[in-house]
Structure 1
Protein backbone atom coordinates (compact mmCIF):
# COMPACT_ATOMS: atom_id res chain seq x y z
CA UNK A 1 0.00 0.00 0.00
CA UNK A 2 1.28 3.45 -0.90
CA UNK A 3 2.06 5.94 1.85
CA UNK A 4 0.32 9.33 1.92
CA UNK A 5 3.45 10.94 0.52
CA UNK A 6 3.51 8.45 -2.34
CA UNK A 7 -0.17 9.02 -3.01
CA UNK A 8 0.34 12.79 -3.13
CA UNK A 9 3.31 12.38 -5.46
CA UNK A 10 1.31 10.12 -7.77
CA UNK A 11 -1.61 12.55 -7.90
CA UNK A 12 0.77 15.45 -8.56
CA UNK A 13 2.49 13.60 -11.40
CA UNK A 14 -0.81 12.52 -12.97
CA UNK A 15 -2.13 16.08 -12.82
CA UNK A 16 1.06 17.27 -14.52
CA UNK A 17 0.75 14.53 -17.15
CA UNK A 18 -2.87 15.42 -17.89
CA UNK A 19 -1.99 19.11 -18.30
CA UNK A 20 1.02 18.33 -20.49
CA UNK A 21 -0.91 16.00 -22.78
CA UNK A 22 -3.78 18.46 -23.17
CA UNK A 23 -1.29 21.21 -24.09
CA UNK A 24 1.32 19.39 -26.17
CA UNK A 25 -0.22 16.06 -27.13
CA UNK A 26 0.65 12.52 -26.14
CA UNK A 27 3.34 12.13 -28.80
CA UNK A 28 5.47 14.79 -27.12
CA UNK A 29 5.27 13.18 -23.70
CA UNK A 30 8.33 11.36 -22.41
CA UNK A 31 9.20 10.31 -18.90
CA UNK A 32 12.03 12.87 -18.82
CA UNK A 33 9.82 15.71 -19.99
CA UNK A 34 7.16 14.76 -17.49
CA UNK A 35 9.73 14.59 -14.70
CA UNK A 36 10.74 18.17 -15.54
CA UNK A 37 7.11 19.32 -15.64
CA UNK A 38 6.26 17.63 -12.34
CA UNK A 39 9.50 18.60 -10.60
CA UNK A 40 10.42 15.02 -9.71
CA UNK A 41 13.20 12.68 -10.78
CA UNK A 42 12.86 10.26 -13.68
CA UNK A 43 13.58 7.47 -11.22
CA UNK A 44 10.57 8.58 -9.16
CA UNK A 45 8.36 8.24 -12.21
CA UNK A 46 9.59 4.74 -12.94
CA UNK A 47 9.25 3.75 -9.28
CA UNK A 48 5.64 4.91 -9.23
CA UNK A 49 4.42 3.86 -12.68
CA UNK A 50 6.93 1.43 -14.17
CA UNK A 51 6.97 2.88 -17.69
CA UNK A 52 4.99 5.16 -20.02
CA UNK A 53 2.27 2.56 -20.53
CA UNK A 54 1.96 2.22 -16.77
CA UNK A 55 1.67 5.99 -16.51
CA UNK A 56 -1.09 6.10 -19.12
CA UNK A 57 -2.94 3.27 -17.42
CA UNK A 58 -2.69 5.07 -14.08
CA UNK A 59 -3.90 8.30 -15.68
CA UNK A 60 -6.94 6.57 -17.13
CA UNK A 61 -7.54 4.71 -13.86
CA UNK A 62 -7.49 7.92 -11.84
CA UNK A 63 -10.22 9.27 -14.13
CA UNK A 64 -12.17 6.02 -13.99
CA UNK A 65 -12.14 6.22 -10.20
CA UNK A 66 -14.02 9.51 -10.48
CA UNK A 67 -16.40 8.02 -13.03
CA UNK A 68 -17.02 5.05 -10.75
CA UNK A 69 -17.93 7.34 -7.86
CA UNK A 70 -20.42 9.19 -10.05
CA UNK A 71 -21.92 5.99 -11.48
CA UNK A 72 -22.34 4.54 -8.00
CA UNK A 73 -24.41 7.60 -6.98
CA UNK A 74 -27.15 7.57 -9.60
CA UNK A 75 -30.26 9.63 -8.89
CA UNK A 76 -32.76 7.63 -10.95
CA UNK A 77 -34.81 4.89 -9.28
CA UNK A 78 -36.46 3.31 -12.34
CA UNK A 79 -34.23 0.44 -13.57
CA UNK A 80 -34.26 1.47 -17.24
CA UNK A 81 -33.58 5.10 -16.39
CA UNK A 82 -30.70 4.02 -14.17
CA UNK A 83 -29.12 2.26 -17.16
CA UNK A 84 -29.45 5.42 -19.25
CA UNK A 85 -28.09 7.57 -16.46
CA UNK A 86 -25.12 5.27 -15.83
CA UNK A 87 -24.15 5.36 -19.51
CA UNK A 88 -24.60 9.12 -19.82
CA UNK A 89 -22.59 9.80 -16.66
CA UNK A 90 -19.79 7.50 -17.81
CA UNK A 91 -19.52 9.24 -21.18
CA UNK A 92 -19.81 12.76 -19.77
CA UNK A 93 -17.15 12.15 -17.13
CA UNK A 94 -14.82 10.57 -19.66
CA UNK A 95 -15.18 13.54 -22.00
CA UNK A 96 -14.62 16.00 -19.16
CA UNK A 97 -11.79 14.30 -17.32
CA UNK A 98 -9.74 12.09 -19.67
CA UNK A 99 -7.59 13.82 -22.33
CA UNK A 100 -8.79 12.73 -25.75
CA UNK A 101 -5.21 11.81 -26.69
CA UNK A 102 -5.09 9.38 -23.78
CA UNK A 103 -8.42 7.81 -24.70
CA UNK A 104 -7.12 7.35 -28.25
CA UNK A 105 -3.91 5.75 -27.02
CA UNK A 106 -5.97 3.24 -25.06
CA UNK A 107 -8.59 2.40 -27.69
CA UNK A 108 -5.88 1.90 -30.32
CA UNK A 109 -3.95 -0.57 -28.15
CA UNK A 110 -5.68 -3.84 -27.22
CA UNK A 111 -3.24 -4.43 -24.38
CA UNK A 112 -4.09 -1.10 -22.76
CA UNK A 113 -7.80 -1.75 -23.31
CA UNK A 114 -7.48 -4.98 -21.35
CA UNK A 115 -5.55 -3.27 -18.55
CA UNK A 116 -8.18 -0.53 -18.23
CA UNK A 117 -11.18 -2.87 -18.48
CA UNK A 118 -9.88 -5.06 -15.65
CA UNK A 119 -9.84 -2.06 -13.33
CA UNK A 120 -13.11 -0.33 -14.25
CA UNK A 121 -15.79 -1.28 -11.74
CA UNK A 122 -18.31 1.12 -13.29
CA UNK A 123 -18.82 -1.33 -16.14
CA UNK A 124 -19.81 -4.01 -13.64
CA UNK A 125 -22.42 -1.62 -12.27
CA UNK A 126 -23.94 -1.06 -15.73
CA UNK A 127 -24.20 -4.83 -16.14
CA UNK A 128 -25.74 -5.05 -12.67
CA UNK A 129 -28.35 -2.42 -13.58
CA UNK A 130 -29.34 -4.44 -16.65
CA UNK A 131 -29.71 -7.43 -14.33
CA UNK A 132 -31.83 -5.34 -11.96
CA UNK A 133 -34.10 -4.30 -14.84
CA UNK A 134 -34.47 -7.97 -15.75
CA UNK A 135 -35.40 -8.93 -12.19
CA UNK A 136 -37.89 -6.03 -12.08
CA UNK A 137 -39.66 -7.50 -15.10
CA UNK A 138 -38.73 -4.71 -17.52
CA UNK A 139 -36.51 -7.03 -19.56
CA UNK A 140 -36.72 -10.70 -20.44
CA UNK A 141 -34.01 -13.04 -19.23
CA UNK A 142 -33.31 -14.57 -22.67
CA UNK A 143 -29.79 -13.10 -22.80
CA UNK A 144 -27.27 -12.61 -20.00
CA UNK A 145 -26.87 -8.93 -18.99
CA UNK A 146 -23.10 -9.13 -19.51
CA UNK A 147 -23.59 -10.32 -23.09
CA UNK A 148 -26.01 -7.50 -23.85
CA UNK A 149 -23.57 -4.96 -22.45
CA UNK A 150 -20.72 -6.53 -24.38
CA UNK A 151 -22.51 -6.08 -27.70
CA UNK A 152 -23.29 -2.45 -26.90
CA UNK A 153 -19.66 -1.98 -25.86
CA UNK A 154 -18.49 -3.06 -29.32
CA UNK A 155 -20.39 -0.15 -30.82
CA UNK A 156 -19.16 2.18 -28.08
CA UNK A 157 -15.56 1.17 -28.80
CA UNK A 158 -16.04 2.07 -32.48
CA UNK A 159 -17.61 5.41 -31.50
CA UNK A 160 -14.75 6.23 -29.14
CA UNK A 161 -12.24 5.67 -31.92
CA UNK A 162 -14.16 8.04 -34.19
CA UNK A 163 -14.49 10.58 -31.38
CA UNK A 164 -10.76 10.58 -30.67
CA UNK A 165 -10.09 10.97 -34.41
CA UNK A 166 -12.25 14.11 -34.46
CA UNK A 167 -15.02 12.52 -36.51
CA UNK A 168 -17.61 12.88 -33.73
CA UNK A 169 -18.31 15.63 -31.26
CA UNK A 170 -19.05 15.03 -27.57
CA UNK A 171 -22.82 15.05 -28.09
CA UNK A 172 -22.53 12.52 -30.90
CA UNK A 173 -20.50 10.18 -28.72
CA UNK A 174 -23.04 10.42 -25.90
CA UNK A 175 -26.06 9.91 -28.14
CA UNK A 176 -24.37 7.06 -29.99
CA UNK A 177 -23.55 5.26 -26.75
CA UNK A 178 -27.10 5.59 -25.45
CA UNK A 179 -28.55 4.45 -28.76
CA UNK A 180 -26.27 1.39 -28.83
CA UNK A 181 -27.57 0.28 -25.44
CA UNK A 182 -31.17 1.00 -26.45
CA UNK A 183 -30.87 -1.29 -29.47
CA UNK A 184 -29.49 -4.10 -27.31
CA UNK A 185 -32.18 -3.58 -24.66
CA UNK A 186 -34.92 -3.66 -27.29
CA UNK A 187 -33.90 -7.22 -28.10
CA UNK A 188 -35.09 -8.37 -24.66
CA UNK A 189 -37.55 -5.65 -23.66
CA UNK A 190 -40.91 -6.70 -22.29
CA UNK A 191 -43.86 -5.26 -24.27
CA UNK A 192 -44.62 -2.65 -21.61
CA UNK A 193 -41.00 -1.50 -21.62
CA UNK A 194 -40.35 -1.73 -25.35
CA UNK A 195 -42.35 1.40 -26.17
CA UNK A 196 -40.34 3.48 -23.67
CA UNK A 197 -36.99 2.28 -24.95
CA UNK A 198 -38.05 2.73 -28.57
CA UNK A 199 -39.20 6.28 -27.86
CA UNK A 200 -35.88 7.03 -26.15
CA UNK A 201 -33.92 5.57 -29.07
CA UNK A 202 -35.92 7.57 -31.58
CA UNK A 203 -35.30 10.76 -29.59
CA UNK A 204 -31.58 10.28 -30.23
CA UNK A 205 -31.93 9.94 -34.01
CA UNK A 206 -30.98 13.52 -34.79
CA UNK A 207 -27.94 13.44 -32.49
CA UNK A 208 -26.46 9.99 -32.93
CA UNK A 209 -23.84 9.39 -35.63
CA UNK A 210 -24.12 6.85 -38.39
CA UNK A 211 -21.96 3.80 -37.77
CA UNK A 212 -20.89 3.70 -41.41
CA UNK A 213 -20.21 6.47 -43.86
CA UNK A 214 -21.86 6.88 -47.22
Structure 2
Protein backbone atom coordinates (compact mmCIF):
# COMPACT_ATOMS: atom_id res chain seq x y z
CA UNK A 1 0.00 0.00 0.00
CA UNK A 2 2.82 2.41 0.90
CA UNK A 3 4.55 1.65 -2.41
CA UNK A 4 1.31 2.29 -4.33
CA UNK A 5 0.84 5.64 -2.58
CA UNK A 6 4.45 6.51 -3.43
CA UNK A 7 3.91 5.75 -7.11
CA UNK A 8 0.70 7.78 -7.20
CA UNK A 9 2.51 10.71 -5.58
CA UNK A 10 5.27 10.59 -8.18
CA UNK A 11 2.73 10.43 -11.00
CA UNK A 12 0.79 13.34 -9.51
CA UNK A 13 3.93 15.48 -9.36
CA UNK A 14 4.90 14.43 -12.87
CA UNK A 15 1.47 15.42 -14.22
CA UNK A 16 1.60 18.76 -12.38
CA UNK A 17 5.01 19.53 -13.89
CA UNK A 18 3.94 18.65 -17.44
CA UNK A 19 0.76 20.71 -17.18
CA UNK A 20 2.63 23.70 -15.74
CA UNK A 21 5.36 23.38 -18.40
CA UNK A 22 2.89 23.44 -21.27
CA UNK A 23 1.09 26.45 -19.81
CA UNK A 24 4.39 28.28 -19.26
CA UNK A 25 5.64 27.58 -22.78
CA UNK A 26 2.49 29.17 -24.19
CA UNK A 27 3.47 32.39 -22.36
CA UNK A 28 7.25 32.50 -21.97
CA UNK A 29 10.51 30.50 -22.21
CA UNK A 30 10.76 27.61 -19.80
CA UNK A 31 12.62 28.19 -16.54
CA UNK A 32 13.03 25.08 -14.40
CA UNK A 33 12.98 27.21 -11.24
CA UNK A 34 9.75 29.00 -12.18
CA UNK A 35 8.32 25.70 -13.40
CA UNK A 36 8.83 24.12 -9.97
CA UNK A 37 7.03 27.04 -8.33
CA UNK A 38 4.13 26.86 -10.81
CA UNK A 39 3.80 23.09 -10.33
CA UNK A 40 3.98 23.35 -6.53
CA UNK A 41 7.03 21.11 -6.19
CA UNK A 42 10.55 21.53 -4.87
CA UNK A 43 13.21 23.00 -7.22
CA UNK A 44 14.89 19.59 -7.46
CA UNK A 45 11.77 17.62 -8.41
CA UNK A 46 11.70 18.42 -12.17
CA UNK A 47 15.32 17.24 -12.42
CA UNK A 48 14.67 14.17 -10.27
CA UNK A 49 11.72 13.11 -12.44
CA UNK A 50 12.98 14.10 -15.91
CA UNK A 51 16.75 14.49 -15.60
CA UNK A 52 17.25 17.35 -18.06
CA UNK A 53 15.17 20.08 -19.64
CA UNK A 54 15.37 18.32 -23.01
CA UNK A 55 13.96 15.09 -21.56
CA UNK A 56 11.13 17.10 -20.04
CA UNK A 57 10.37 18.38 -23.56
CA UNK A 58 10.44 14.81 -24.89
CA UNK A 59 7.87 13.85 -22.24
CA UNK A 60 5.71 16.78 -23.39
CA UNK A 61 6.06 15.54 -26.98
CA UNK A 62 5.05 12.00 -26.00
CA UNK A 63 2.03 13.37 -24.13
CA UNK A 64 1.01 15.48 -27.13
CA UNK A 65 1.18 12.44 -29.42
CA UNK A 66 -0.96 10.38 -27.03
CA UNK A 67 -3.55 13.15 -27.03
CA UNK A 68 -3.47 13.30 -30.83
CA UNK A 69 -4.03 9.54 -31.04
CA UNK A 70 -7.04 9.87 -28.71
CA UNK A 71 -8.56 12.62 -30.86
CA UNK A 72 -7.86 10.69 -34.04
CA UNK A 73 -9.41 7.47 -32.75
CA UNK A 74 -12.52 9.40 -31.71
CA UNK A 75 -12.96 10.76 -35.25
CA UNK A 76 -15.11 9.02 -37.84
CA UNK A 77 -12.70 8.26 -40.68
CA UNK A 78 -13.51 5.59 -43.29
CA UNK A 79 -10.04 4.07 -43.65
CA UNK A 80 -6.38 4.33 -42.67
CA UNK A 81 -5.45 6.75 -45.47
CA UNK A 82 -8.26 9.06 -44.38
CA UNK A 83 -6.97 8.82 -40.80
CA UNK A 84 -3.49 9.89 -41.93
CA UNK A 85 -4.86 12.93 -43.76
CA UNK A 86 -7.06 13.75 -40.77
CA UNK A 87 -4.07 13.42 -38.42
CA UNK A 88 -2.28 16.06 -40.51
CA UNK A 89 -5.30 18.34 -40.18
CA UNK A 90 -5.60 17.78 -36.41
CA UNK A 91 -1.90 18.43 -35.87
CA UNK A 92 -2.12 21.58 -37.97
CA UNK A 93 -4.95 22.85 -35.76
CA UNK A 94 -2.77 22.20 -32.70
CA UNK A 95 0.06 24.22 -34.23
CA UNK A 96 -2.37 27.08 -34.85
CA UNK A 97 -3.81 26.95 -31.33
CA UNK A 98 -0.50 26.77 -29.42
CA UNK A 99 2.24 28.16 -31.68
CA UNK A 100 4.57 29.28 -28.89
CA UNK A 101 4.43 25.88 -27.21
CA UNK A 102 5.13 23.91 -30.39
CA UNK A 103 7.90 26.21 -31.61
CA UNK A 104 9.69 25.82 -28.27
CA UNK A 105 9.00 22.08 -28.24
CA UNK A 106 10.46 21.30 -31.66
CA UNK A 107 13.32 23.78 -31.35
CA UNK A 108 14.41 21.99 -28.16
CA UNK A 109 13.93 18.30 -28.85
CA UNK A 110 15.71 18.42 -32.21
CA UNK A 111 18.63 20.53 -30.97
CA UNK A 112 21.82 18.89 -29.72
CA UNK A 113 22.36 19.13 -25.97
CA UNK A 114 25.95 18.64 -24.75
CA UNK A 115 24.66 18.22 -21.18
CA UNK A 116 22.37 15.32 -22.11
CA UNK A 117 24.36 12.24 -23.09
CA UNK A 118 21.56 9.73 -22.42
CA UNK A 119 20.35 7.62 -25.36
CA UNK A 120 17.64 9.56 -27.15
CA UNK A 121 15.35 6.65 -27.91
CA UNK A 122 12.91 6.67 -30.78
CA UNK A 123 11.25 9.89 -31.90
CA UNK A 124 7.62 9.87 -30.66
CA UNK A 125 6.64 11.28 -34.05
CA UNK A 126 8.15 8.28 -35.82
CA UNK A 127 6.27 5.92 -33.49
CA UNK A 128 3.01 7.78 -34.13
CA UNK A 129 3.26 7.74 -37.93
CA UNK A 130 4.54 4.16 -38.05
CA UNK A 131 1.39 3.10 -36.24
CA UNK A 132 -0.79 4.83 -38.83
CA UNK A 133 1.18 3.38 -41.76
CA UNK A 134 0.86 -0.06 -40.17
CA UNK A 135 -2.90 0.36 -40.37
CA UNK A 136 -2.57 0.93 -44.13
CA UNK A 137 -1.00 -2.50 -44.39
CA UNK A 138 -3.53 -4.08 -42.04
CA UNK A 139 -6.46 -2.73 -44.08
CA UNK A 140 -4.97 -3.75 -47.44
CA UNK A 141 -4.61 -0.14 -48.60
CA UNK A 142 -0.87 -0.37 -49.28
CA UNK A 143 0.63 -2.68 -51.88
CA UNK A 144 2.17 -5.78 -50.29
CA UNK A 145 5.59 -5.14 -51.87
CA UNK A 146 5.97 -1.71 -50.23
CA UNK A 147 8.39 -1.44 -47.30
CA UNK A 148 6.19 0.22 -44.66
CA UNK A 149 9.16 1.29 -42.50
CA UNK A 150 10.87 2.98 -45.45
CA UNK A 151 7.63 4.74 -46.37
CA UNK A 152 7.21 5.93 -42.77
CA UNK A 153 10.78 7.22 -42.55
CA UNK A 154 10.47 9.20 -45.77
CA UNK A 155 7.12 10.64 -44.75
CA UNK A 156 8.58 11.71 -41.40
CA UNK A 157 11.44 13.44 -43.26
CA UNK A 158 8.80 15.33 -45.23
CA UNK A 159 6.75 16.38 -42.22
CA UNK A 160 9.89 17.29 -40.23
CA UNK A 161 11.10 19.57 -43.01
CA UNK A 162 7.73 21.31 -43.28
CA UNK A 163 7.56 21.65 -39.50
CA UNK A 164 11.03 23.22 -39.40
CA UNK A 165 9.86 25.74 -42.01
CA UNK A 166 6.89 26.52 -39.77
CA UNK A 167 9.04 26.77 -36.61
CA UNK A 168 11.27 29.28 -38.39
CA UNK A 169 8.21 31.21 -39.67
CA UNK A 170 8.90 30.55 -43.34
CA UNK A 171 5.38 29.18 -43.82
CA UNK A 172 2.12 29.51 -41.91
CA UNK A 173 -0.03 26.63 -40.66
CA UNK A 174 -2.24 26.54 -43.76
CA UNK A 175 0.80 26.19 -46.01
CA UNK A 176 2.26 23.61 -43.63
CA UNK A 177 -0.91 21.53 -43.97
CA UNK A 178 -0.91 21.92 -47.75
CA UNK A 179 2.75 20.87 -48.02
CA UNK A 180 2.38 17.80 -45.81
CA UNK A 181 -0.99 16.74 -47.21
CA UNK A 182 0.20 17.15 -50.79
CA UNK A 183 3.34 15.16 -50.00
CA UNK A 184 1.28 12.35 -48.50
CA UNK A 185 -1.05 12.33 -51.51
CA UNK A 186 1.88 12.16 -53.94
CA UNK A 187 3.56 9.37 -51.96
CA UNK A 188 0.24 7.60 -51.46
CA UNK A 189 -0.37 7.40 -55.20
CA UNK A 190 2.82 5.36 -55.60
CA UNK A 191 2.17 2.88 -52.78
CA UNK A 192 -1.62 2.55 -52.58
CA UNK A 193 -3.55 -0.52 -53.59
CA UNK A 194 -5.46 0.01 -56.85
CA UNK A 195 -8.90 0.26 -55.24
CA UNK A 196 -7.97 3.33 -53.14
CA UNK A 197 -5.98 5.22 -55.76
CA UNK A 198 -9.03 7.14 -57.10
CA UNK A 199 -9.77 8.58 -53.64
CA UNK A 200 -6.13 9.62 -53.18
CA UNK A 201 -6.06 11.11 -56.69
CA UNK A 202 -9.08 13.23 -55.76
CA UNK A 203 -7.24 14.49 -52.67
CA UNK A 204 -4.19 15.23 -54.81
CA UNK A 205 -6.32 17.34 -57.14
CA UNK A 206 -7.76 19.28 -54.20
CA UNK A 207 -4.33 19.96 -52.73
CA UNK A 208 -3.01 21.11 -56.11
CA UNK A 209 -5.93 23.52 -56.39
CA UNK A 210 -5.24 24.90 -52.90
CA UNK A 211 -1.53 25.29 -53.64
CA UNK A 212 -2.27 27.10 -56.90
CA UNK A 213 -4.68 29.45 -55.12
CA UNK A 214 -2.12 30.12 -52.38
CA UNK A 215 0.60 30.83 -54.95
CA UNK A 216 -1.62 33.48 -56.50
CA UNK A 217 -2.09 35.18 -53.14
CA UNK A 218 1.44 35.10 -51.72
CA UNK A 219 4.91 33.49 -51.77
CA UNK A 220 5.24 29.90 -52.94
CA UNK A 221 5.47 27.08 -50.42
CA UNK A 222 8.81 27.12 -48.62
CA UNK A 223 9.54 30.75 -49.53
CA UNK A 224 9.71 33.49 -46.90
CA UNK A 225 6.62 35.65 -46.60
- The TM tier, using the shorter chain, reads 0.7 to 0.9
User: Which residue matches 2:20?
Assistant: 16
Unaligned runs of 5+ in 2: 215-219
Q: Distance in 1 between matches of 2:66 and 2:57?
A: 14
Give the aligned length.
Answer: 207
User: Which residue matches 2:130?
Assistant: 124
- Shift of residue 68, structure 1, vs aligned partner: 2.1
- Shift of residue 66, structure 1, vs aligned partner: 0.7
SS at match of 2:26: helix
1:106 pairs with 97, 109, 117, which one? Answer: 109
- Shift of residue 93, structure 1, vs aligned partner: 4.2
Task: Output the TM-score relative to the length of structure 2.
Answer: 0.76
User: Which residue matches 2:71?
Assistant: 70
User: Which residue matches 1:160?
Assistant: 163
Q: Distance in 2 between matches of 1:53 and 1:79?
A: 32
SS at match of 1:171: helix
Question: Structure 1 residues 148 and 87, CA, compared in 2 at 3 Å: closer, same or farther?
Answer: same
RMSD, aligned α-carbons? 3.1
Contact 2:95-2:173 within 8 A present in 1 as well: no
- Residue 39 of structure 1 pairs with residue 27 of structure 2: no
SS at match of 2:170: coil
Contact 1:64-1:120 within 8 A present in 2 as well: no
- Shift of residue 102, structure 1, vs aligned partner: 1.0
Q: Distance in 1 between matches of 2:201 and 2:112?
A: 34
Q: Distance in 2 between matches of 1:169 and 1:116?
A: 28
Q: Distance in 2 between matches of 1:24 and 1:88?
A: 26
Task: Output the TM-score relative to the length of structure 1.
Answer: 0.80
